A and B are shown apart, each in its own frame.
Chain A
């Protein structure tokens, strides 16, 4: 059974810091891995999708890496801003999406 774990569960940092959020999964048989952002009352927004054959994806200040063999992904946020405050979820696609429990990020001015 696929299990997805995210560490840390919560993170509070001052503006400008570079951050690393971690995601691990137990079964490497995945089609892809996605990182989502969840804002209260606004559902989920897809940030980055990494296909199983890829190693990383970048979008603006965000960079996500995937090491399928070790069952790990990281989301790197450069120069964090208060607007980055949200819950970040990773999900692996194995015919259905299996989500981690998320990392709640707070960036303070």
Chain B
């Protein structure tokens, strides 16, 4: 398994600002993912964070709005840029580990409220 931490756990931000969310894993993982869960909605995959290269974004998500970094095998950041109230969501990081590629482990999430 993998233990995943996210910072911050929650934040309240003003419209037009940006927030960077950190995801730290206690072991080296093969894949890291970022999801968004809007109020009352299911989880939606934003992008796959690739180590040493640009992230792979899903349809409807762009790098300018959600820049992602993954400088090593255990750490990734997601930035929510130029925020609006519609960005209010829970953002979750997840990983696949080497010996359990079928299973994703999820972090506790970051609850973001944009005023």
Contacts and interface: CB of A to CB of B under 8 A. Distances in A.
Chain A partners chain B: yes
Interface string A18-39: 0000000000000110101000
Interface residues of B, number: 20
B45 A97 contact: yes
Interface in A35-59: 36, 41-46, 49, 51
Contact of B102 (A49, A100, A101, A102): A49
Interface of A: 4, 31-32, 34, 36, 41-46, 49, 51, 89, 91, 93, 96-97, 99-102
Interface string B66-83: 000000000000000000
Can you list the 5 inter-chain pairs with the closest CB atoms, starting with the nearest? A44-B106, A99-B42, A43-B106, A43-B108, A99-B43
A36 B107 CA distance: 13
Nearest to B44: A99
B43 A46 contact: no
Q: Could you say which of B9, B41, B105, B106 has the most chain A C-beta atoms within 10 Å of its C-beta?
A: B106
A102 B107 contact: no
B103 interface: yes
A53 B104 CA distance: 19
A4 B109 contact: no
B26 to A, nearest CB: 14
Contacts of B106: 36, 43-45
Contacts of B25: none
A89 B109 contact: no
B21 interface: no
B4 interface: yes
